[in-house]
Amino acid sequence: MDSHGLRTRRSLLDDGFTPAEIRRLRTSGSLLPVRRGTYTEPGDRRLETPETRHALQVRATLPVLAKGSVVSHASAAVLHGLRLWAVRLDRVHVTRDATSGGRTSRRFHLHTARLRADEVVEIDGIAVTSLARTAVDLARTLPYEQAVVAVDSAFDIRRGRTPGRAPLARSDWDEAISRAAGWPGGPAAGRVGRFAADGAESAGESRSRIAIAAAGLPPPVLQLAVPGTARGVDGRVDFAWRDQRVVGEFDGRVKYGRLLAPGQEAGDVVFAEKIREDAIRAAGWTVLRWTWGELREFDPVAARLRRALDG
């Protein structure tokens, strides 16, 4: 077992396990495959989410990578802790500084592109494209909505509250996008960068901003602290139109069950959110909410917002 709790077929054979025993361990579930020839044990919490499982796959792939390979694209996004929405995590992505030789397999994607020394950082001992380069690569290669979610996450100021992570500076983005001029997907990445913002705190909020813009509604202020709310009430809202005193809330903001304090129940969170909304209304603001399901067909929400904004 290596320092990260992974076992390889080679190490098991060296420890005296026979090929038949390894097969039995796999069949019984005592060994769980991470990638071909690399295993972990049942109960490994890194298998619980797509992101942590992918990070484990990246780790398991490192020994077979050619010298100079740098983890990139969606794989780098996972290691940087970026939010991803509807992005496939079935392949480990790496980039090599070369003009040709890229290839794709079922579990691996090798990209070849110009890669400068200052575009490579180290995360937990792994060579990874920098946050700016990762954001630009995602913006170049992902569909628009998925790209905005990822780049919003890179700009999210809350990253600075996580040890070892900092939000992407606009100047770093500008430099990275200028380096990508003339590359495939460069114009699309520029469009993503012009729309991306540092106030979207979830994939749902990023997608909501896209839907609001597509509906032709005026752009909202993000994460406004509504003035006049009662003391002790969190008056910060997802979207606000100051002049019309209208608030928009994406209802994924309260993640029932996952943000519970010790001893708190889901009903307590729901009740606290009601108190919060009542306080915002009492301060003279109209509050409109929408959910994940309504993002798929936003026209009814857009109509409600338009009526509220028109007074």
Contact present, 168 and 131 (Cβ < 8 Å): yes
- Maximal C-alpha separation, the chain: 77
**pLDDT value for 214:** 98
**pLDDT value for 298:** 98
* Spatial separation of the C-alpha atoms in residues 197 and 199, rounded to whole Å: 6
Mean pLDDT by 10 residues, the chain (311 residues): 75 89 90 88 89 96 94 98 97 95 94 96 97 98 98 90 88 97 96 95 96 98 89 86 97 54 60 84 95 95 98 83
Residues 16 and 106 in one domain: no
Contact present, 283 and 275 (Cβ < 8 Å): no
Residues 97 and 172 in one domain: yes
213 in helix, strand or coil? helix
> Which amino acid, 153?
S
Number of H helices and number of E strands within the chain? 12, 13
**pLDDT value for 263:** 59
Residues 59 and 187 in one domain: yes
**pLDDT value for 191:** 98
Residues 182 and 278 in one domain: no
Residues 43 and 70 in one domain: no
Domain boundary pick from 131, 159, 193: 193
The answer to whether residue 198 sits within a structural domain is: no
Domain span at residue 165?
Answer: 49-193
241 in helix, strand or coil? strand
**pLDDT value for 257:** 46
Domain boundary pick from 147, 168, 193: 193
- Split into its structural domains, the chain has a count of 3
pTM for this prediction = 0.90
Residues 171 and 245 in one domain: no
Dihedral sign from CA coordinates of 151, 152, 154, 155: positive
* Spatial separation of the C-alpha atoms in residues 61 and 206, rounded to whole Å: 32
Residues 216 and 105 in one domain: no
**Closest by CA position to 203, among listed 136, 130, 255, 245:** 255
**pLDDT value for 61:** 95
Contact present, 97 and 76 (Cβ < 8 Å): no
Residues 40 and 62 in one domain: no
Residues 279 and 257 in one domain: yes
